[in-house]
Amino acid sequence: FDMFFLAFVERLFRPTFKKDDFVLGKKLGEGAFGVVYRASLTKKPSSKVPYQKEGDLVLKKATEYGAVEIWMNERVRRACSNSCADFVHGFLENSSKKGAEYWLIWRYEGEATLYDLMQSKEFPYNVERMIVKEVQDLPRGLERENTIIQTIMRQLLFALDGLHSTGIVHRDIKPQNIIFSEGSRTFKIIDLGAAADLRVGINYIPKEFLLDPRYAAPEQYIMSTQTPSAPSAPVATALSPVLWQMNLPDRFDIYSTGLIFLQMAFSGLRSDSALIQFNRQLKRCDYDLNAWRKSVEPRASSDLRKGFELLDLDGGIGWELLTSMVRYKAGQRISAKGALANPYFDREGLLVLSLMQ
Ligand code: ADP
Ligand code: MG
pLDDT, tens digit, 9 for 90 and up, residues 97-129 = 767 899 999 999 999 999 999 999 999 999 999
**Which numbered atom of ligand 1 lies nearest the CA of 188?**
23
Q: Which amino acid is at 105?
A: I
Task: Read off the amino acid at residue 25.
Answer: G
Q: If you take atom 8 of ligand 1, which residue's CA is the nearest one? A: 191
Per-residue pLDDT band at 31 (split at 50, 70, 90): confident
Q: How far apart are CA 89 and CA 15, in angstroms?
A: 8
Q: List residues with catalytic annotation.
A: 172
Neighbours of 246 (CB within 10 A): 11
Spell out the residues 6+ positions from residue 215 whose beta carbon is closer than 8 angstroms to its own: 172, 173, 174, 255, 256, 259, 260
279: pLDDT strictly greater than 80 = yes
- What integer is the mean pLDDT of 130-142? 85
Inter-residue contact 146 to 319 (CB < 8 Å): no
Query: Largest Cα–Cα distance in the chain?
Result: 65
Q: Are 109 and 85 in contact (CB under 8 A)?
A: yes
* Binding-site residues, ligand 1, Cβ < 6 A: 28-29, 31, 33-34, 36, 58, 60, 85, 106, 108-110, 113, 176-177, 179, 190-191, 193
pLDDT category of residue 286 using cuts at 50, 70 and 90 = very high
Strand partners, 113: 179
Q: Does a cis peptide bond (omega within 30 degrees of 0) precede residue 124?
A: yes
**Phi, psi for 50 (deg, rounded to 5):** -75, -170
pTM of the model: 0.89
- 245-261: pLDDT as tens digits: 557 889 999 999 999 99
> Which positions ≥6 away from 40 have C-beta within 8 Å?
22, 23, 25, 53, 54, 55, 56, 57
Q: Closest Cα to atom 17, ligand 1: which residue?
A: 28
Q: What pLDDT, on a 0 to 100 scale, did the predictor assign at position 357? A: 42
* Residues within 5 A (CB) of ion ligand 2: 177, 191
For a ligand 1 pocket test, name from 26, 27, 28 the mutation site with the most ligand atoms within 8 angstroms of its C-beta.
28
Question: What is the structure's pLDDT at 65?
Answer: 82
What average pLDDT does this structure show over 188-209? Answer: 75
What are the C-alpha distances in Å from 319 to residues 72, 109, 162, 323, 333? 33, 32, 24, 6, 14
Cα gap 79→195, rounded to integer Å: 15
Q: Which of 253, 259, 186, 193 is CA-nearest to residue 223? A: 253
Percent of the chain exceeding pLDDT 90 equals 64
